[in-house]
Amino acid sequence: MAATTGATFCTAGRAGARTSGSRLRPVIRAPGLAVFRSVIESESRWWSAPQKSPSAWSHSRRRPAVGAAFQGRDHRIAYLTALSELGLLTHPVRTLFVACTQQVRYSAVGRRRLRVVLERPDTIHMEADLVERSWISTLNRALFESAMRLDLTGGVNRLAEAVAAGAREADPHRIAALADAFGPKAAAAQRRLASLTRTLELPLDLSATVDKRQPVIRMDPRDEHVAWFDPELRVAWNETPDELRAVTRY
């Protein structure tokens, strides 16, 4: 495969990749998720991330390598790599994160370390676009999944940076539909995103209502330090709003 595609694979563990702008309509493979289909009619706008130069899309040469590595496997470029590919981050991402329905024996694609995240077949291509043989999370999916798995996002600073960069183009209705489709963990992700956008006054109006009896959730589940508390959405932040404003420049 490497000889015909120009891709180089190293054996052992995980995966990731790259993509550029495309106007392909998302494809859903999730029978029965009528609530998600009801909001999928409008075209995806993920390629138009604001406040970034066109150079943010300069890594498309890696797409064929990822497509070759995952040929015949349902996959999606996701999490931190998707945020970077969508032009939402200022600093480069060294690891390639790929969601896949099965594990692979590669530990790298070319010289980039690979991290594979197992995912169910019915959600793997939900809010994803196919570009040059590689699937990639749309803007809405990338923000949502990153808020759900901060361990695959690089922490709250990178999440806040990405949300601020993509807030004007993100669709709150499609993010809400994702939350409905993914269950309890998704509700926490939606609360994190809503807490960030409301507190930092970002232009993305996410609906999230929280009863006072609901348990407090952490902005980053890995960090028990509480620097600030959002009483409305009951989210314990491990960074202060001012610290994240410095990152997002809002």
Q: What is the pLDDT along the chain (250 residues), one digit of tens a residue?
A: 433 344 444 444 433 444 444 333 444 344 334 433 333 333 333 333 333 333 333 345 556 678 889 999 999 999 999 999 999 999 999 999 999 999 998 899 888 999 999 999 999 999 999 988 899 999 999 999 999 999 999 999 999 999 999 999 999 999 999 999 998 889 999 999 999 999 999 999 998 889 888 999 999 999 999 999 999 999 999 999 999 999 998 7
Order of strands across the sheet that contains 134-137: 9-11, 106-109, 112-118, 95-100, 75-77, 134-137, 128-131
For position 106, what pLDDT does the model report? Answer: 84
DSSP-assigned letter for residue 94: -
Residue 137 contacts residue 127 (beta carbons within 8 Å): yes
Distance between start and end Cα atoms, the chain: 46
For position 63, what pLDDT does the model report? Answer: 63
Q: Hey, how many other C-beta atoms are within 10 angstroms of the C-beta on 227?
A: 16
Give the pTM. 0.77
Closest CA to 13 of 112, 114, 159, 91: 114
132: alpha, beta or left? (left if phi > 0; alpha if psi -120 to 50):
left
Q: What is the C-alpha to C-alpha distance for residues 229 and 223, in angstroms, rounded to an integer?
A: 14
Residue 222 contacts residue 156 (beta carbons within 8 Å): no
Write down the residue that tokens 């120009």 correspond to.
Answer: 6
Q: What residues contact residue 8 under an 8 Å CB cut-off, 6+ apart?
A: 2, 65, 108, 109, 110, 111
